Structure 1
């Protein structure tokens, strides 16, 4: 079964600062709980993303089991949006669209993740038991980090 996670967060910053922060793969580790041991393995010459860019990570998503993850940046519209797609990793499908909408209060950040687990009905059971809660925890953590970085003065 396919699932969708949708989150929105208003940041008190300008579009250039938001884009610079989110479009750097190295900031993913800042936005991920330390317990997941997230580490970018790719050596990236330029921190700015581009279509076709492959990024390799190590991550420990569930039950302390380490794994490799590779995403490809499949779409980039500078200062507006980008999409990362899992090429290798734990999901049958992972497509994460990041959108940035400038407004009078700063920048509205919208995350939409379409995802699916492998193993059919077993994957659906694991989703309800573990994965949905874990993803909510990760994105709640991300929200708090972004609040501290951009919305605390």
Structure 2
């Protein structure tokens, strides 16, 4: 079974506090998710983020198909990072680390996602043209949305990278 990894880096000209306030609010995930994904939070986003928090969503990754996604916030270091892990949902494994680092002129927001696909060889075959493509589109949308909300750092290049571990 293959383990895939997505790494995304985005530079924002805002304070660490402002970045944390926005990114650690589970309700803002809907703000930065493409509308066509039909993303809705069902439960668990009504409190400030804490370890052990369970958040339930509905997401429509493909036309005509919706699924429930349940994540747990497993680690929180206020202002610096948090980790969410899928408990139930479309992936065999989903471990998502969110980091916020202070840099000159703003912050570096870094996401590292380790994930495994279900369905064995069929899942692996779908990765390049379906899963990877969709994840890249989601993170490019997030980059555009965060840039429209907070601006950009023109001297820094945002990136989205994939690899198979």
TM range (shorter): over 0.9
Root-mean-square deviation (CA, aligned residues, Å) is 1.1
Residues 10-44 of structure 1 deviation map (CA, whole Å, 9 limit, x = unaligned): 10101111001000110000110000010110054
Alpha-carbon distance in 2 for matches of 1:60, 1:101: 32
Secondary structure, aligned partner of 2:109: strand
Regions of 4+ moved over 3 Å: none
Q: Gaps spanning 5+ residues in structure 2: where?
A: 153-165
1:91 Cα deviation from its structure 2 partner: 0.1
Q: Indicate whether 1:9 and 2:13 are aligned.
A: no
Residue number in structure 1 paired with 2:37? 36
Contact 1:10 1:105 in 2 (8 A): no
Larger fraction in strand: 2
Q: Normalising by structure 1, what TM-score? A: 0.95
Residue number in structure 1 paired with 2:106? 106
Alpha-carbon distance in 1 for matches of 2:56, 2:46: 14
Q: Normalising by structure 2, what TM-score? A: 0.88
Aligned length: 151
1:103 Cα deviation from its structure 2 partner: 1.6
Residue number in structure 1 paired with 2:158? none
Alpha-carbon distance in 1 for matches of 2:64, 2:106: 38
Report 1 or 2 for greater relative contact order, CA contacts < 8 Å, sequence distance ≥ 6.
Answer: 2
Change (3 A) 1:26 1:2: same
